[in-house]
Amino acid sequence: MNINDYNAGIRRIVISEEEIRSAITKAGAMISEKYKGEPVLLVSVLKGAFIFLADLARAISIPCEIGFMEAKSYFADTKSSGSVAITMDLKHDVSKYHVIIVEDIIDTGRTLKEIAKIISSRKPLSLEIVTLLDKPSRRVVELNADYSLFTIPDLFVIGYGLDFDEYYRNLPYIAEFNESLL
């Protein structure tokens, strides 16, 4: 992508670095308090949540382990359910942990619902979902995060791990993508 198109794709900042940082500090403190003395596994679904996970993990002050999954979703638009194939699985035996799924954004909710179902079937001590962003107006399946840092309207956003066509993940803030470039 050329630099002019790249810059034109960033329409406006929706959530600043400072706002993200302070929300993550609060979430980290809450998780540290809630899970004190318990075995915790933070599970991130690649790739979008990698930056959120890195910052959230550093805001948590209790011992915790970190695992990654990668999944491919196959959803026909007309169906409300589909399937998720795991392309890289967790190495941990989740039955020994309180699992916290760390997600970048919940949109339709379909991918995360399937992932939560797969992890649940392995009988973790408990399972919670923490998401940086939530777009509730787009939901097509019933799925709610236990903790959502920001609720946003139906905008396509980029930055802080979120991409458009694999670009913009490295922006330090969340921005609205300028879809007129499409």
User: Can you tell me which of 44, 48, 94, 101 binds ligand IMP, judged by CB under 6 A?
Assistant: 48
Give the 3-state secondary structure of residue 145. coil
163 is catalytic: no
Where are the strands (E) in the chain, listed by range?
10-15, 40-46, 65-74, 83-88, 98-106, 126-134, 147-151, 157-158, 174-177
| Binding window for ligand IMP (CB under 6 A); candidates: 33-41, 85-93, 107-115, 122-130 | 107-115
Q: Is residue 48 within the footprint of Mg ion (CB under 5 A)?
A: yes
56 binds, among Mg ion, ligand IMP, none (CB under 5 to 8 A by kind): none
Interhelix angle 50-58/17-34, rounded to 10 degrees, is: 60
| Binding window for Mg ion (CB under 5 A); candidates: 7-15, 101-109, 136-144, 146-154 | 101-109
Q: Cα dist. 134→6, 37, 77, 123, 143 in Å?
A: 25, 29, 20, 26, 11
161 binds, among ligand IMP, Mg ion, none (CB under 5 to 8 A by kind): none
Q: Is residue 105 within the footprint of ligand IMP (CB under 6 A)?
A: yes
Q: Is residue 132 within the footprint of ligand IMP (CB under 6 A)?
A: no
